[in-house]
């Protein structure tokens, strides 16, 4: 068994717990995923852009629904970034050598993020220019 960077030395699989402990475990896994996501430069830049958007909205007096839609879109961007990162991690693990299939998977994940960034940016520009 090969140990890769970031993997525990003695990995164990914990059986799922039931009831409220399942919710606690799920929250812990989500927090670990969030910590992993924000090791990615792209995710940190997207969060910084979200802060910049919030400042611009404060400056321009954007309506509440603009804030809500923008927060939803930012959440979608970060969700896509998390899935893209998961795809990249899995591709690198399963296919450490170059392969067209791994490249295609990574490129498609990147496209998903780019499309959401364009939709978010378009919405924000429409708000900032007073078109909606």
CATH number of residue 57's parent domain? 1.10.287.3610
State the average pLDDT over residues 80-84: 98
Would you say 57 is a known binding-site residue? Answer: no
How far apart CA 122 and CA 86 sit, in angstroms, is: 26
Q: What pLDDT, on a 0 to 100 scale, did the predictor assign at position 74?
A: 98
State the average pLDDT over residues 106-130: 98
CA 20 to chain centre: 26
Task: Please check the confidence at residue 4 and state whether its pLDDT lies above 70.
Answer: no
For residue 9, give the DSSP letter.
S
* Residue 65 domain flag: yes
Task: Please check the confidence at residue 1 and state whether its pLDDT lies above 50.
Answer: no
Task: Of 5-9, 12-16, 64-68, 98-102, give the lowest mean pLDDT range.
Answer: 5-9
CA distances 21 to 11, 12, 14, 29, 125, Å, are: 21, 18, 13, 12, 44
* Residue 73 domain flag: yes
- Mean pLDDT (the chain) is 93
44 is written with which tokens? 């940190």
Q: What's the pLDDT band for 41 if we cut at 50, 70, 90?
A: very high
* Residue 97 domain flag: yes
Would you say 46 is a known binding-site residue? Answer: yes
* Residue 3 domain flag: no
Q: Using the Cα atoms of residue 23, residue 112, residue 74 and residue 81 in order, give the sign of their dihedral.
A: positive
| Spatial CA neighbour of 82 closest among 128, 118, 130, 32 | 32
* Residue 58 domain flag: yes
Domain that holds residue 104: 41-128
* Residue 86 domain flag: yes
CA geometry: angle 53, 59, 64, nearest 5 deg: 70
Active-site residue set: 81
Q: What pLDDT, on a 0 to 100 scale, did the predictor assign at position 14?
A: 80
81 near 38, Cβ under 8 Å?
no
| Spatial CA neighbour of 6 closest among 63, 121, 120, 89 | 89
For residue 68, give the DSSP letter.
H
State the average pLDDT over residues 18-39: 94
Would you say 81 is a known binding-site residue? Answer: yes
* Residue 8 domain flag: no
State the average pLDDT over residues 10-27: 86
* Residue 95 domain flag: yes
Q: What pLDDT, on a 0 to 100 scale, did the predictor assign at position 73?
A: 98
Task: Please check the confidence at residue 9 and state whether its pLDDT lies above 70.
Answer: no
Would you say 110 is a known binding-site residue? Answer: yes
Q: How many structural domains is the chain composed of?
A: 1
């Amino acid at each position: 068994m090969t140990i890769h960077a970031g993997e525990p030395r003695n990995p164990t699989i914990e059986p799922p717990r039931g009831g409220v402990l399942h919710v606690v475990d799920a929250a812990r896994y989500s927090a670990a995923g969030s910590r992993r996501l924000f090791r990615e430069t792209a995710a940190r830049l997207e969060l910084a852009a979200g802060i910049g958007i919030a400042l611009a909205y404060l400056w321009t007096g954007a309506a509440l629904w603009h804030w809500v839609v923008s927060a939803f879109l930012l959440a979608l961007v970060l969700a896509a970034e998390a899935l893209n990162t998961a795809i990249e991690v899995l591709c690198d693990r399963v296919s450490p050598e170059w392969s067209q299939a791994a490249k295609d998977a990574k490129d498609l994940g990147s496209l998903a993020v780019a499309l959401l960034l364009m939709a978010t940016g378009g919405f924000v520009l429409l708000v900032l220019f007073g078109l909606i």
